[in-house]
Amino acid sequence: MVEKNNTNGADAVIETLYRAGVRICFANAGTTEIPLLLAMDRYPDIKTVLGLFEGVCTGAADGYGRMLEKPAVSLLHLGPGFANGIANLHNARRAGTPLFNIIGEHATWHIHADPPLAMDIEALAKTVSDWVHTNKSPDLLAQDTFDAIQTASSGKTASLIIPHNNQTADIKYIPPSPSAIYCEAIDTKAIEKIAKTMKSASKTAFFLGGKALRKRGLSIISRIQEATGCHLLTGTFPGYIDRGAGLPYIEKIPYFPEESKRLISQYELIIIAGAREPVTFFGYEGIDSYLISPGQKKVYLCHENQDMFYALECLADNLGSLKKSKTQDTPRPMLRPDDIRSNLPSGGLTPDKASHIIAAIQPEDAIIVDEGLTSFFAYYPLSANLSPHTLLTITGGAIGYGMPCSIGAAMACPERPVINVQADGSALYTVQALWTQAHESLNIKTLICSNRSYNILKIELARAGITSPGESAKSLIELDSPPIDWVRVAKGFGVDAVSVETASDLAQALKKALSEKGPYLIEMKLG
């Protein structure tokens, strides 16, 4: 695709991205990335998507990578630009999103002068990346880019820092060489042993994450559950989960530790697949960080660099041949879609009513981007039996992920409607994302959970026995003076919007919004 005869370092980067199948780049660039911008101009098949703040770019890359399971690319400006993207890169890392950040840097001969924008970019990048590299020579740019993409492909974050003069230097393009990808064989004896342990255990649960929560994983897990009746669990904030009729019900571990402990304590055996061991979200005095107690049996199905699907298949085959009779009831919320749809709540909106209405109205194949936090807890069990849909959540706890993540999800799957259920305080962290939604005419319906407070802090204070905090604490919790006028904010960024206060108005507004393509915002004023 390079039309010039002489290629420069920036061309080598973009050529390598193109050959690796990259077709989108979420960017906010500056002077040190100009050669990369100009190189992009020679690849019209790679779309550049502007975010008006780097947290929008990295959050969008997270959403895109989560949906497509292939490397999402961001282009960021120096240390301060990268720093602005860290919070959403943190979420991406916790979600195991394949993600590749390209960061421009001052010219190698300029950096020693410590110019105003100079920072230790490597140190910043290391906090949220599995792979960080500063390019040492323009001739190595194709290989560095390839190595980064290969690293990212396995659900990792790679960050490549490229000095400006290496971008502009003339080079000959040398196609990079793939390195061997290490994949450890499954120990089938170990899987057999797990099957036998399951047979002897009185009560078993799987604790699932990563690829296990996608259709392919869930369909194999279905077979295991049919054979054994085992229960299926995941963390409070799974990165990605395919849901709806036909797929097994995965119970989310509750947020607060007393409840999550109680849930997990009932199992003699917990098999962990595609996840790390479950831990409490925060540390609570007197409660162990780890939710599985030392008296319980804990088994990892396989290692990170083994083929989990094959391990699951092996386990299902083993269990099938054991012809073990079910000893457990399979729990599943009993609500049928018709029950939900025929009993729509009315009156003033509450979090539970809003959750009910969203579940009742969400269309088939919807992508639900959930940053509803305390306002959306009721939705998850309600929506178990709906038509197929995908749920993304705020895996790393760094707020401001929902609006940007929705951009990436919508660009990855333009034929699927995106519903972003969005806590108001968190929305304000990356509210500029609305502009990109308008700019790209993305089919995203944003539902603001407007409770005008950082409600989780109220709940945590109440847990600590404090129901009426003093002025100082209160001033850091309440967002009501003045209240955000969400309709104005959204329209200011080019997204049409409405505010609703009752359940029936929400139902009506959401149906109407879903009947049209494009972005729309509904402020749900919650009582």
- Give residues 62-81 in contact with a second copy (rule: CB under 8 A): 79-81
* Host H or E run for residue 237: none
In degrees, to the nearest 5, what angle opens at C-alpha 414 toward C-alphas 209 and 517?
A: 125
As separate numbers, helices (DSSP H) first and strands (DSSP E) second, the chain gives 21, 20
Residue 220 CB, shortest distance to a second copy, in Å, is 27
Question: Among 218, 227, 431, 503, which residue interacts with a second copy (rule: CB under 8 A)?
Answer: 431
**Is residue 397 a contact residue for a second copy (CB under 8 A)?**
yes
By CB under 8 A, name the one of 2, 38, 190, 344 that touches a second copy: 38
Distant-in-sequence, close-in-space partners of 463: CB < 8 Å, separation ≥ 6: 256
**Structure tokens that stand for 163 in this block:** 């000095």
Question: Can you tell me which of 55, 59, 71, 238 binds a second copy, judged by CB under 8 A?
Answer: 55
- Exactly one of 11, 15, 16, 53 binds a second copy (CB under 8 A); that residue is 53
Q: What whole-number distance in Å separates Cα of residue 478 and Cα of residue 425? A: 10
DSSP collapsed to 3 states, 340-378: HHHCCCCCECCHHHHHHHHHHHCCCCCEEEEECHHHCCC
Q: Which is nearer to a second copy, 104 or 244 (CB)?
A: 104
In whole angstroms, the minimum distance from the beta carbon of 400 to a second copy comes to 8
Residue 418's nearest CA partner among 500, 344, 521 is 521
Q: Is 314 in the site for a second copy (CB under 8 A)?
A: no
User: Of these, 67, 76, 412, 489, which contacts a second copy (CB under 8 A)?
Assistant: 489
- Scanning residues 229 to 288, which ones bind a second copy (CB under 8 A)? 237, 276, 279-283, 285
As a whole number of angstroms, the distance between CA 497 and CA 50 comes to: 22
Does 299 participate in binding a second copy (rule CB under 8 A)?
A: no
Closest CA to 419 of 504, 520, 525: 520
Q: How far apart are CA 402 and CA 392, in angstroms?
A: 9
Kindly state whether residue 83 participates in binding a second copy, applying the rule CB under 8 A.
yes
Q: Smallest distance, Å, CB 97 to a second copy?
A: 14
Whether residue 124 contacts residue 90, with contact meaning beta carbons closer than 8 Å, is answered with: no
Taking the complex as a whole, the smallest distance from the CB of residue 489 to a second copy amounts, in Å, to 3
| Minimum separation from the CB atom of position 72 to a second copy (A) | 17
Question: In terms of CB distance, is 2 or 461 closer to a second copy?
Answer: 461
Q: Per CB under 8 A, which of residues 85..144 are in contact with a second copy?
A: 86-87, 90, 94, 106-107, 109-117, 119-120, 123-124, 126-128
For a second copy, the closer CB: 21 or 470: 470
Q: What's the first-to-final CA gap in the chain, in angstroms?
A: 57
Interface residue with a second copy among 438, 444, 510, 524 (CB under 8 A) is 438
Judged by CB under 8 A, the stretch of 150-158, 342-350, 404-412, 431-439 that binds a second copy is 431-439
Report cis status (omega within 30 of 0) of the bond before 163: no
Which amino acid does the sequence have at 141? Answer: L
Nearer to a second copy, 81 or 417 (CB): 81
User: Pick from 213, 210, 202: which is nearest to 270 by CA?
Assistant: 202
Nearer to a second copy, 150 or 157 (CB): 157
Q: Which helix (H) or strand (E) holds 20?
A: none
Is 29 an interacting residue with respect to a second copy (CB under 8 A)? yes
* Nearest distance in Å: CB 105, a second copy: 10
Rounded to whole angstroms, the Cα distance separating 36 from 32 reads 9
Least distance (Å) between residue 6 CB and a second copy: 16
Q: Which residue in the block uniquely carries the two structure tokens 């962290």?
A: 429
Shortest approach of a second copy to residue 303 CB, angstroms?
Answer: 17
- Residue number with CB closer to a second copy (223 or 491): 491
Strand partners, 72: 99
User: Which residues, 168 to 207, sit near a second copy by CB under 8 A?
Assistant: 168
3-state helix, strand, coil in the chain (%, to 5): 40, 20, 40
Number of neighbouring beta carbons within 10 Å of residue 77? 21
Identified binder of a second copy from the candidate list 27, 221, 230, 308, rule CB under 8 A: 27
**Binding letters toward a second copy, positions 440-479, x by CB under 8 A:** --------------x-xx--xx--x-x--xxxxx-xx--x
Per CB under 8 A, 335 contacts a second copy: no
Per CB under 8 A, the segment of 34-42, 131-139, 259-267, 370-378 that binds a second copy is 34-42
- Round to whole Å and give the CA distance between 318 and 296: 23
Is 305 exposed, middle or buried (CB count within 10 Å of its CB: 0-12, 13-18, 19+)? exposed
Residue whose C-alpha is closest to residue 105's, from 43, 61, 168: 168
Q: Select from 4, 6, 23, 31 the one that contacts a second copy (CB under 8 A).
A: 31
Which residues inside 400-429 make contact with a second copy, applying CB under 8 A?
400, 425, 428-429
Q: Which is nearer to a second copy, 117 or 299 (CB)?
A: 117
Give the list of residues 6+ apart from residue 116 with CB closer than 8 angstroms, or none. Answer: none
C-beta of 309 vs 380, nearer to a second copy: 380
Site size toward a second copy, by CB under 8 A: 105
